[in-house]
Structure 1
Amino acid sequence: MTVTRSQIISACSTRNLGNFDGQCLVLAPGAGDNDCGGGAYKYTCPTGVNSQDLEAAEPTQSTGFFVQTAYAGGSNGAECTAGQILQMTITSGGNNEPNPNINPTSLNGNQTIGGRNLRIDNNGAHAFPRIGDMEQQRPKFGGDNYMAANVDVLSGSSNAGSWWWDNTDQTKDEAAEAATWAYEFVAFVQGSGGGQPSCACTFTIDVGWDSNQHPGTAYAYNAGNSVNCGGLQ
């Protein structure tokens, strides 16, 4: 498994998902240099810091990444469980802001991912846990989508592997606001057992955006809570 955060990515999908508010270039099947074949749309999308509009009345940017996993030869992709979980904390003026609601993923409850015992809340009526939250003496994460069954996100899976693109946004109410965003993501694929390997990439994105300043953004790889991960690319 690898996580790309430093280049433009291209992906093929039979889903017509639009251009994600202008963030991606989308070519219909057979159009232009769409070399996907099979009636698929070609998506060209950013990773890293992108889509900045720092002079807007509500200044904004996005921070993207692309997760890709290659399965072992002879794998049955239907027996692999892919997904993503998240803790996050947003502050404004030094005070915690409400988190958005969880997007259910493929696993729930007590799980071991990346060698770490975790607790996953998959209830879409609940807000994402904050950084450092615990439950039943385990770090508590919220489901963050990107399971194979979800047709509303840019993702794909086959017997060869799985992939997905994520592009979280940070928007201030006004330039004078001082705000921060902290995310801990765990992207994973759980094998079917019987000696089949699993993989997980754990990484953080931190954005500090002072009053009337440009934002500072940092990605960091957590090797200690990752397994079979090639890190941030």
Structure 2
Amino acid sequence: MDAEVRLRTRESVGYDGEPSFDCELDYYLVYAEPDDVWRGVAPCGIAVEEFVLHEDFAAAGVDSAVWSAGEGWWSSAGFSRSLRADARVRTVVRPTGRSAAEEAYRRLTDTDLPHAGELRRQFADRDLRPASAPLRLGPAQVPAGFFDRRVYRILFAGDLGEHGMADLWCREWLQPVDDPAEPRVLGRGALAAQAHEFSWELRRIGFGVAWSIDLTALLGPDSEPEPATLGALLHRLRSLLRDRGLIPVTVERFA
């Protein structure tokens, strides 16, 4: 298995419960104006998020908190929803990593960014995802030699753009696809880990206003209901597109 898809505990892939303090959260820089990021203007705020997952790794909601000048830390499910639904909000919010968030926070406050455990204490208003039974997508029968077959969709808002697409093809996770029969499928990838087999497709939804990664997981042959490998892979694929500017919206289970 690729070292970047490492086995994680229940907590480290974002389960509802008491997470481990060293789990990586999702960080965003918030700017006053859309052009500030390109003009080198410092951000005016920092947003921190964490996906909360059901035991089958489908999203239960998103916890978030924002630090902004003059207001300090605050938590709002409304901000989380607007980031995903309003393209204007996304023009002033940029996904980033922990190190860039630390640098921005130190510049804004002259103090160190709190560690993950302290940041989670700022989460007060969860952006919930509707609960529903998994829909059947694809054949119901599990292939011979496997215990279970699952299909997940990781949905994203935003536009990759030419640079984001070009960067994706520089990775081993996605290979470009040019299939006239499936014009919305732009990339595919696959991974075998232990006794499991995974395959996924990058899909464009609408006119580039949304994207998805559809993952098919063949699990088995043991009757282990929640292999950590699946959660780690879903986390890695979500991060793959978030690192290129897209905003993860939800993780749905279809089968």
With the shorter chain as reference, the TM-score category is under 0.3
TM-score by length of 1: 0.28
TM-score by length of 2: 0.26
More strand, by proportion: 1
More helix, by proportion: 2
